[in-house]
């Protein structure tokens, strides 16, 4: 077994054992939050990191799935119907987002996804007959797949863990596939990819749909976790949070979004105990990361580790005078 496979196996075992090792429900719930946001971040990273398209409207897709589930449950339907319908409606909206925003790339794409996300938020806020507006919709029960109850923190964690592992596996397979490699190609040289015979628009469309699928799944986990959904979960700040998770961890890596999600969730929960206004902190961290560590914490850490390793291995010689000043 290769070194990487062993590391993965250990990590999975650790995650499975977690709710038994940690007894406090609060921390098990934090872990569930981290995992479901990691799925959200993975979904967003497919678009941001691999397709090179930055979306500021993904909280809208997240929210459509959540609201879909909550609405149908409140209307008296069962969990299976609610989940399937929530997923389906989110995918339809994703296709709509994609068709409209893929008209352009770059900055325009950001603006359009931002506007679209805001529109979904505005609908959640104003379409009171459907969404109950600011009051939100309550979700009475969690599903019980195969008779196993997800009402407890541990039970829910288990379900979330399974979904998370599937999501990670899915993205890993995707990234290593020909389609994944080609998608990265469209990120780096879209003109050339077209000249090489690729259908760039269509590739971006399917990447968007895959991203939307993962985001919707995260949205469904979210609404069952909180057993509540309100327009706040779809606000621009929520999309910004998702983006922060992706860029702080490192956009084009598999582990990056997961670490980013963990960081943001932990800081948010720790900070809420001391700081009243989380958004201010979120904004400040955003600015700090963009200005000082744009490639994200994971690539940045890897870079520093490599540099340190090389420095240790190299015999000490007279340090050359740097021309441009010390590099970080």
Partner 1 sequence: MTFWVLLTVNSVTFGGLLFLLSAGFSLIFGLMRIPNLTHGSMFMAGAYIGATLLAGDLGFTLNFWLAAIAGALAVAALSAIMERFLLRRLAGQQLAQVLVTLGVSLMVADLCLMIWGGDPISVATPAGLGGFVRAGPAAFPLYRMAVIAIAVVFAVVLWLMLERTRLGAMIRAGVDDPQMARVVGIHVSRLFTIVFALGAGLAAFAGMIGGPILSVYPGLDQDMLPLALVVVILGGTGSLLGSFVGSIIIGFIYNFGQALVPELAYFVLFLPMVLVLVLRPQGLFGEQVL
Partner 2 sequence: MSALAVSGLGKSFGGLRVTTNINLAVAPGERRLIIGPNGAGKTTLFNLITGEIAPDSGSILLFGRNITRMASRNRAHLGLARTYQIITLFARDTILRNVTLALLGLSPLRWNPLIALDRQHHLAAAGRAALERVGLGHIADRPLAETSYGEKRRVEIAMALAQNPKVLLLDEPFAGLSIDERSDVRKLLVAIPRDVTIVMIEHDMDTALDLADRITLMHFGEVIVEGTRAEVVADPRTREVYLGE
* Contacts to partner 1 by CB under 8 A: 54, 56, 100, 103-104, 106-108, 110-112, 114-116, 118-119, 121-123, 126-130, 235-237, 240, 243, 247, 276-277, 279-280, 282-287, 290-291, 294
Note whether 62 and 218 are within 8 A (CB): yes
Minimum distance, C-beta of residue 88 to partner 2, in the bound complex (Å): 21
From 51, 77, 34, select the one nearest 222 (Cα to Cα): 34
Choose among partner 2, partner 1, none what residue 111 binds, the Cβ cut-off being 5 to 8 Å by kind.
Answer: partner 1
Residue 184 near partner 2 by CB under 8 A = yes
DSSP string across 44-112: HHIIIIIS----S-HHHHHHHHHHHHHHHHHTT--HHHHHHHHHHHHHHHHHHHHHHHTTS-HHHHHHH
- Residue matched to tokens 């986990």: 221
Q: What H or E segment, with its residue span, contains residue 117? A: helix 106-126
Q: How far is the CB of 239 from partner 1 (least distance, A)?
A: 9
Applying CB under 8 A, does 199 fall inside the site for partner 2?
yes
Question: Rule CB under 8 A: is residue 180 a binding residue for partner 2?
Answer: yes
264 by Cβ neighbours in 10 Å (0-12 / 13-18 / 19+) ranks as buried
CB nearer to partner 1: give 130 or 308: 130
Shortest Cβ distance from residue 54 to partner 1 (Å)?
Answer: 6
Identify which of residues 35 and 48 has a Cβ nearer to partner 1 in the complex: 48
Tell me the C-alpha distance between 5 and 11, whole Å.
10
Closer residue to partner 1, CB minimum distance, 133 or 185: 133
The correct pick among 191, 310, 313, 314 for binding partner 2 (CB under 8 A) is 191
Residue 264 interacts with which of partner 2, partner 1, none, CB < 5 to 8 Å by class: none
Identity of the residue, 205 or 228, whose beta carbon is nearer to partner 2 in the bound complex: 205
One residue of 80, 135, 177, 279 binding partner 2 per CB under 8 A = 177
The answer to whether 257 and 249 have CB atoms below 8 angstroms apart is: yes
Q: Which is nearer to partner 2, 316 or 327 (CB)?
A: 327
C-alpha distances out from residue 79 to 139, 271, 284, Å: 11, 34, 40
Binding region for partner 2 (CB under 8 A): 173-174, 176-182, 184-185, 188-189, 191-200, 206, 210
């Amino acid at each position: 077994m290769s070194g990487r496979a062993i590391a993965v196996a250990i990590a999975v075992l650790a995650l499975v054992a977690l709710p038994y090792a940690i007894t406090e429900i609060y921390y098990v719930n934090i872990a569930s939050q981290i995992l479901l946001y990691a799925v959200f971040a993975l979904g967003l990273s497919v678009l941001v990191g691999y397709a090179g398209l930055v979306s500021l409207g993904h909280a809208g897709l997240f929210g459509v799935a959540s609201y879909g589930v909550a609405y149908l449950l409140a209307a008296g339907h069962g969990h299976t119907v609610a989940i399937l319908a929530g997923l389906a409606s989110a995918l339809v909206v994703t296709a709509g987002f994609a068709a409209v925003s893929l008209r352009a790339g770059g900055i325009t794409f950001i603006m359009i996804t931002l506007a679209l996300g805001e529109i979904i938020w505005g609908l959640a806020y104003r379409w009171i007959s459907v969404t109950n507006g600011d009051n939100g919709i309550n979700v009475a029960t969690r599903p019980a797949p195969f008779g196993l109850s997800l009402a407890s923190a541990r039970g829910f964690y288990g379900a979330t863990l399974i979904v998370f592992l599937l999501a990670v596996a899915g993205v890993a397979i995707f990234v290593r596939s020909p389609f994944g490699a080609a998608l990265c190609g469209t990120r780096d040289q879209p003109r050339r990819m077209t000249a090489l015979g690729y259908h760039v628009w269509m590739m971006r469309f399917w990447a968007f749909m895959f991203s939307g699928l993962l985001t919707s799944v995260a949205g469904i986990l979210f609404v069952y976790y909180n057993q509540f959904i309100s327009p706040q979960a779809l606000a621009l700040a929520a999309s910004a949070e998702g983006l922060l998770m992706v860029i702080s961890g490192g956009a084009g890596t598999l582990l990056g979004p997961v670490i980013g999600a963990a960081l943001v969730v932990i800081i948010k929960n720790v900070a809420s105990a001391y700081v009243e206004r989380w958004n201010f902190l979120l904004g400040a961290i955003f600015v700090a990361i963009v200005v000082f560590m744009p490639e994200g914490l994971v690539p940045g850490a890897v870079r520093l580790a490599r540099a340190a390793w090389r420095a240790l291995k190299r015999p000490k010689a007279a340090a050359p005078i740097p021309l441009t000043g010390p590099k970080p």
